């Protein structure tokens, strides 16, 4: 039989997450690969979802999203960032940030257009750029003084006459970088000068550490009018299975994304929208406690990884630690990750698969720390086997 899958998707067979999660299941290793929490979100939020189902909130909600969630997102952005969005024309509820990214890229990039992405990239970015028939222009984030950043000249060089958008992610998965105002100003300057859209994935907006400030690029001068700001409930409220996300953008961009979105899914599931509207209003103190737990997990994991021989990069946000494996005597992350269950009973993700430039990514491996403290302790104890 000939391969039925369209050519442009053939490089996207199984994701590294499926491979590494299967490896964890097969070997009984602790899965610090895929980034999902092993505890539930705020109990009252869960109760609100159950109540919505019991109360018959179970039919198609409006295409743009349930009004109370759109209002809650608008209020959140106003209170937290001073960004005013009209809930009726400037907010769109999506099936997770994943659909928000898909709808934005498919709606905004013509075949042949170029989209600048920072590598290591989130895997759905490249798949969607490919599906749109567009071309990705990667800019590599490299460690400089302990954190990953980009070279402004490389970014400038990546923007050409066919560039339509810069797709950024801050706080950044997998490196843990929270872009500073200065870094964002470089990106914003290019967007303004070259008339580009910023597609900004901010799903970790609430998960920053040591007081690091998350700055939405839409708050920079002249950027609100050219930014598609994306977030989601999954990471903030530990409900990655709810797949409830949103876009905030000027009306023309929301209309564009919605035109695509209506034929991907038409609308997002109703009960979660109600519960998330509640959580955005009432449960940010719960998120603050989550942040503290995560920061303690982070510190524990970094200490353990360093003792085991990894070079670690302390993340200012997200729930991942990016490492360099070369001090351990390895230089291929994929090889180490395949061996890690037998070497140390732990599974991680080789981040080289998120780079176009194999040399830049080959020696990097990502560990998640969104698991219960006792699971993190056990993982750290097991990793100690590497230094014996």
Ligand X SMILES: *Cc1c(COP(=O)(O)O)cnc(C)c1O
Q: Please report, as ranges, the residues that interact with ligand X according to CB under 6 A.
A: 96-98, 122, 169, 173, 201, 203, 232, 234-235, 240, 243, 245
- Minimum distance of ligand X from residue 82's CB (angstroms): 24
* C-beta of 201 vs 382, nearer to ligand X: 201
Task: For residue 315, give every residue at least 6 positions away whose Cβ sits within 8 Å of its Cβ, in sequence order, or none.
Answer: 171, 175, 176, 177, 209, 298, 321, 322
Instruction: Round to whole Å and give the CA distance between 178 and 184.
Output: 10
* C-beta of 129 vs 344, nearer to ligand X: 129
CA distances from 141 to 117, 169, 179, 321 (A): 10, 12, 11, 15
- Minimum distance of ligand X from residue 37's CB (angstroms): 11
- Minimum distance of ligand X from residue 286's CB (angstroms): 18
- Minimum distance of ligand X from residue 298's CB (angstroms): 16
- Minimum distance of ligand X from residue 349's CB (angstroms): 12
* C-beta of 147 vs 243, nearer to ligand X: 243
* C-beta of 123 vs 378, nearer to ligand X: 123
- Minimum distance of ligand X from residue 26's CB (angstroms): 24
* C-beta of 169 vs 323, nearer to ligand X: 169
Instruction: Round to whole Å and give the CA distance between 178 and 209.
Output: 10
* C-beta of 244 vs 258, nearer to ligand X: 244
* C-beta of 173 vs 323, nearer to ligand X: 173
| Nearest-CB residue for ligand X | 96
- Minimum distance of ligand X from residue 199's CB (angstroms): 11
- Minimum distance of ligand X from residue 169's CB (angstroms): 5
* C-beta of 201 vs 283, nearer to ligand X: 201
- Minimum distance of ligand X from residue 98's CB (angstroms): 3
* C-beta of 244 vs 323, nearer to ligand X: 244
Cis, peptide link before residue 140, omega less than 30° from 0? no
């Amino acid at each position: 039989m000939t391969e039925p899958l369209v050519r442009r998707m053939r490089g996207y067979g199984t994701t590294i997450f499926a491979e590494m999660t299967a490896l964890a299941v097969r070997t009984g290793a602790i899965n610090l690969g895929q980034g999902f929490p092993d505890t539930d979100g705020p109990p009252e939020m869960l109760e609100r979802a159950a109540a919505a189902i019991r109360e018959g909130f179970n039919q198609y909600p409006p295409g743009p999203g349930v009004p109370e969630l759109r209002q809650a997102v608008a209020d959140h952005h106003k209170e937290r960032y001073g960004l005013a969005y009209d809930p009726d024309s400037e907010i769109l509820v999506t099936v997770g940030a994943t659909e928000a990214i898909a709808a934005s890229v498919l709606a905004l990039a013509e075949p042949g257009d170029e989209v600048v992405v920072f590598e290591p990239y989130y895997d759905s970015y490249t798949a969607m750029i490919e599906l749109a028939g567009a071309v990705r222009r990667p800019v590599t984030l490299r460690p400089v003084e302990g954190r990953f950043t980009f070279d402004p000249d490389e970014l400038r060089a990546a923007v050409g006459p066919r560039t339509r958008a810069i797709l950024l992610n801050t706080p950044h998965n997998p490196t843990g970088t929270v872009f500073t105002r200065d870094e964002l100003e470089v990106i914003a300057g290019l967007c303004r000068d070259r008339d580009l859209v910023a597609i900004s994935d901010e799903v970790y907006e609430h998960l920053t550490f040591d007081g690091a400030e998350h700055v939405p690029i839409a708050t920079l001068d002249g950027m609100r009018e050219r930014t598609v700001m994306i977030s989601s409930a999954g990471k903030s409220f530990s409900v990655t299975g709810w797949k409830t996300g949103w876009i905030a953008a000027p009306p023309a961009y929301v209309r564009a994304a919605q035109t695509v979105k209506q034929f991907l899914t038409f609308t997002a599931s109703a009960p979660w929208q109600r519960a998330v509207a509640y959580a955005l209003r009432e449960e940010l103190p719960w998120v603050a406690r989550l942040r503290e737990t995560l920061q303690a997990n982070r510190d524990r994991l970094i200490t353990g990884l360093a003792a085991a021989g990894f070079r670690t990069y302390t993340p200012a946000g997200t729930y991942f630690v990016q490492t360099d494996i070369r001090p351990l005597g390895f230089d291929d992350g994929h090889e180490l990750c395949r061996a890690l269950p037998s070497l140390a009973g732990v599974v991680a993700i080789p981040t080289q698969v998120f780079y176009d430039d194999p040399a830049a990514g080959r020696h990097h491996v990502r560990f998640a720390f969104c698991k219960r403290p006792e699971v993190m302790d056990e993982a750290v104890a097991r990793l100690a086997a590497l230094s014996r």
